Structure 1
Amino acid sequence: MTQSHVDSYSPPVSLQDKGQSPYLLLFIILVLAAIATWIIPAGVYDYETRDGIKFAVKGSLHAVAQSGVYPLEIFTAIAKGMVKQASIIFLILFTGGVLAVIEKTGAIATALNSLSHSTKLSDKWLVLIFAAIFGLLGTTGVVVNAVVAFVPIGLLIARSMGLPPILGASLVYLTCAAGFNVAILNPATTGLTQHLAQLPLFSGMLLRSITCLLFIITAAAYLIWSIRRTRQLGFLRPTQETSGKDVLNVTGRHKWILAITVLALILFIAGTIQFHWGTNEMSAMFILLTIIVGLIGRLSGSEIANTFLTGCSKLVKGAFIVGMAAAISLVLQQGNVLDPIVGSLSNLLEPVPIHAATLGMFISAALIHFGISSGSGESALLIPIFSPLGDNLGLTRQVMVQAVLLGEGIVNCMNPTSGVLMAVLATAGVPYGKWLRFVAPVIAIWFVICVIMLLIGVAINWGPF
């Protein structure tokens, strides 16, 4: 496989656009929310501020005058939602920009291409290396939708190892999903959800990191077991001779780019802990990283700028979904019906043990994700409801955020409305039914891990609040 094969790959348009548009679904919900402002009796909670964070006062819900939202206000709410979530929208766009520049330098693709031609590594070590690389790329948000572009490398390795394509696709996609599903440093998922819940950016990292590690270990162990079982069925590793012209050498420049990218992430973690950095600082770091990586990669100023903007454009749909979903919350708040909805849910769940309520949020988020395949859109829709609900139930916002994130994540690898999953399966030539049977044991174990970790979060009153 040559460099151009990896860098230029993109899923067919029919695969990218497959399924119902989340914008259409969110707009329908937005219209229904506006209608609800004329039907649901209006009411508001009293709020108190503690350490700069607003909390609803339990039992303070009281009726106010009905203030239904008019049709024209539906559309102004969309614009207001975009403005309200501007900082996180631009962070998502800048994430796409910096990743496009890193990809343009060929550092990641070249390193993986070189690894794919190795004849000295055993099955076990190849799986562990891929799990470490793609787990890290997934959990930091470096490779998300772009994971499809790396599937051909997994297929190449599977061929060289004498393994079926489903294992080749899994080497890349399943390990990446294991990291992404418990995103430690992904601004578009964890960063956004915590921002909406008014939590410090990337707080609660220890328990989340343990959960992510368990996800990655599960995926790696299952792949090692699957390969071993496949060998027993007669799929032997053939003797291969590496063609020198197909191997891309990892240069010192590539190593510098990868090292600086990792260093930037480490510095940001330190900054969030020591100086409480947030979305603006991370956006600034991405711009600086773009310039440094581009210069090391010997890109011209125009190439850096154009590649950055092209990368931003690829995430416009996902970024704007955040504003669209925020419009729903604004309409409900404007009509003073969000608090009554929360109050009704609180009354319904109050007799339920807090552990069961947490798992209810987790399962609800998972089911909703089948309809809204955008994690950022779903978070923007659910968090304004779940935050005060959790406050009323005595649930910390950190646990509530994790319940939503894990609910979204557990569905990703089996969601038929996911364009990324469908593109991966089409690239590998794997039927959806076959994939579902293959991945079911992993998802089942992940589900158990999610339940255990959420219950631990409730037990330790996982915070900071």
Structure 2
Amino acid sequence: MAGMRVPHTLILLLAMNAAALVLAYVLPQGAFERVEKDGREQVVAGTYAPLEEAERVHPLSLFTAIPRGFAAAQEIIFFVFLIGGAFAVLRATGAIDAMIGRLLEHLGSRPLWFVAGGMLVFSIGSSTIGMAEEYIPFVPVLLALAIGLGFDAITAIGILCVGYGIGYGAAIFNPFTVLIAQDIAEVQPASGMGFRIALWLVLIVVGVHHVYRYATRVRADPAASLVADVEPDPSWRVTETRALAGRDLLVLGLTLAAIALIVYGLKELHWYVIEMGAVFLGLSIVLVVLTRMSADHAAREFCTGAAELTTTALLIGFARSILILLEDGQVIDTVVHYVSQPLDAAGSIVAAVGMLFFQSLCNLFIPSGSGQAYVTMPVMAPIGDLVGVNRQVAVLAYQIGDGLTNILVPTNAVLVGILAMARIPYERWVRFVFPFILKALLVCAVALAVAVLTGWS
């Protein structure tokens, strides 16, 4: 991995903007007829027609499209900053860290429960509120507990990363992936939760089996470890974690209540990012008062949390500008037309699975879930209309492709950082996780086929 030099995602998105500008010049301009159906605009199959040559986009549009992209995605960008700040305030109360730390300690004496319980905790956090880099502080604790049980570093990181990957891949209502993609595809936010939960449970079983089978093999024969020659870091020790106080339980209860309120609002009151941002902001204020946190400390934590998501916000703006260039050039329907033709010939099930593998490939270049949604969903949603894949299924294909491969692609900074902390060479991690990825993708391909056949929406 040391020899690999992958450009920053922002550079890749800038290159994609330049490519979109070129396409706006090269491709013929065309459009589909559209109709209103079930409250959203859909393209009508067989109605694509070339447009009379209109004025092409100006080369300088490459630079004006980017600020326009930020303006077009402003609601999402502001929401990202709000949720980042709110979550930082929640973390500052200590309740989340205390809960996870104590839970891992209690599970540490029970190998199977340690693997399954730990994976569930990390997966739920990713599936619901989009946790990822927030798990990094728990890496030393996981390593110490795993090694103390006779396992190895890969077992510890497998619990964390496989859980986190499943959480993103079968996310129930992750605000950074599912809700954004559903909004772009004009699908009711948080809809289709039952099917996602069922898929999530199946993937958890597959993930626990994969990690626990490896862990028991290493425990029986330490030489079977993929990192048998890597010396554990002396700093990998169980640090003392404080007991959960009544105040912590109240903080956790209020957080769960806020999440439940958001789910209700999304499903029944047609809420979206403004209302969700308001709930998280209100939760932050209540937690500050409840825990008697100083206003200055809370403000610093909020700003720090928002700042940590600046890169995500930038990627969203740069990704949204790609669509602006294609729309201004009147070639986005041309792209949809030519891509949909081979998929239509293959059938809707093959098309849905094809979308999954396309999104998985995209994740190598755009590991940001929000950024990838803005790049791909404006194209995938209308393609789905044309090939018989409804938009809910297209969103599912996107989130699986984005989420599962997060724990494989070397462009994911969170994964690379965790592997470095655990002293796991990238190629050995691939040997461990790649079979799981294949099994999980097979399960997800079957799930997509079922979704298409049953008309799930």
What is the TM-score normalised by the length of structure 2?
Answer: 0.91
Q: List gaps (5 residues or longer) in structure 2.
A: 224-236
Distance in 1 of aligned mates of 2:406 and 2:25? 36
Aligned position for 1:442: 436
Q: Give a deviation string over 1:291-314, Cα, whole Å, max 9, x none.
A: 122222321222222211211111
Shift of 1:244: 11
Q: For 1:54, what is the secondary structure of its paired residue? A: strand
Distance in 2 of aligned mates of 1:119 and 1:94? 34
Aligned position for 1:303: 297
Aligned position for 2:136: 148
Is contact 2:419-2:425 (8 Å) kept?
yes
Is contact 2:123-2:164 (8 Å) kept?
yes
Moved more, 155-164 or 358-367: 155-164
Q: Give a deviation string over 1:339-391, Cα, whole Å, max 9, x none.
A: 11111122232221111111111111111211222222111111111111111
Q: For 2:346, what is the secondary structure of its paired residue? A: coil
Aligned position for 1:62: 49
1:146/1:329 CA distance change after superposition, 3 Å:
same
Is contact 1:124-1:224 (8 Å) kept?
yes
Moved more, 221-230 or 392-401: 221-230
Shift of 1:51: 4.0
Is contact 1:147-1:173 (8 Å) kept?
no
Are residue 205 (structure 1) and residue 193 (structure 2) matched? Answer: yes
- Given candidates 52, 76, 101, the residue that maps to 2:89 is 101
- Given candidates 389, 395, 401, the residue that maps to 1:407 is 401
Distance in 2 of aligned mates of 1:462 and 1:27? 36
One-letter identity of the residue aligned with 2:373: S
One-letter identity of the residue aligned with 2:36: T
Moved more, 389-398 or 170-179: 170-179
Distance in 2 of aligned mates of 1:70 and 1:119? 61
Identity across the alignment (%): 29
Write the mapping of 1:110-149 to structure 2, written as runs, cut at 5 A: 110-118=98-106, 121-149=109-137
One-letter identity of the residue aligned with 1:443: I
One-letter identity of the residue aligned with 1:157: L
One-letter identity of the residue aligned with 1:80: R
Aligned position for 2:249: 255
Aligned position for 1:7: none
Is contact 2:108-2:145 (8 Å) kept?
no
Shift of 1:119: 8.0
**Runs of 4+ residues deviating >4 angstroms:** none
- Given candidates 154, 162, 169, the residue that maps to 1:166 is 154
Distance in 1 of aligned mates of 2:295 and 2:6? 38
Q: For 1:71, what is the secondary structure of its paired residue? A: coil
Write the mapping of 1:184-199 to structure 2, written as runs, cut at 5 A: 184-199=172-187
Distance in 2 of aligned mates of 1:308 and 1:342? 41
Aligned position for 1:326: 320
Q: For 2:41, what is the secondary structure of its paired residue? A: strand
Q: For 1:68, what is the secondary structure of its paired residue? A: coil
Q: List gaps (5 residues or longer) in structure 1.
A: 1-14, 236-242
1:343/1:247 CA distance change after superposition, 3 Å:
closer
Is contact 1:154-1:170 (8 Å) kept?
no
Alignment root-mean-square deviation, CA? 2.1
One-letter identity of the residue aligned with 2:13: L
Is contact 1:67-1:334 (8 Å) kept?
no
Are residue 285 (structure 1) and residue 279 (structure 2) matched? Answer: yes
Distance in 2 of aligned mates of 1:19 and 1:244? 35
Distance in 2 of aligned mates of 1:433 and 1:60? 48
Aligned position for 1:31: 18
Moved more, 137-146 or 383-392: 137-146
What is the TM-score normalised by the length of structure 1?
Answer: 0.90
Aligned position for 1:372: 366
Is contact 2:125-2:131 (8 Å) kept?
yes
- Given candidates 27, 32, 56, the residue that maps to 1:40 is 27
Shift of 1:425: 0.6
Shift of 1:154: 0.7
Moved more, 347-356 or 395-404: 347-356
Write the mapping of 1:358-369 to structure 2, written as runs, cut at 5 A: 358-369=352-363
Moved more, 212-221 or 324-333: 212-221
- Given candidates 383, 386, 390, the residue that maps to 1:389 is 383
Is contact 2:82-2:281 (8 Å) kept?
yes
Is contact 2:169-2:401 (8 Å) kept?
no
Distance in 2 of aligned mates of 1:416 and 1:245? 30
Distance in 1 of aligned mates of 2:203 and 2:55? 47
Write the mapping of 1:414-433 to structure 2, written as runs, cut at 5 A: 414-433=408-427
Write the mapping of 1:171-250 to structure 2, written as runs, cut at 5 A: 171-233=159-221, 246-250=240-244
Q: Give a deviation string over 1:267-294, Cα, whole Å, max 9, x none.
A: 2212222222222211111111111222
Aligned position for 2:60: 72
Is contact 1:95-1:312 (8 Å) kept?
yes
1:439/1:244 CA distance change after superposition, 3 Å:
closer
Distance in 1 of aligned mates of 2:167 and 2:157? 16
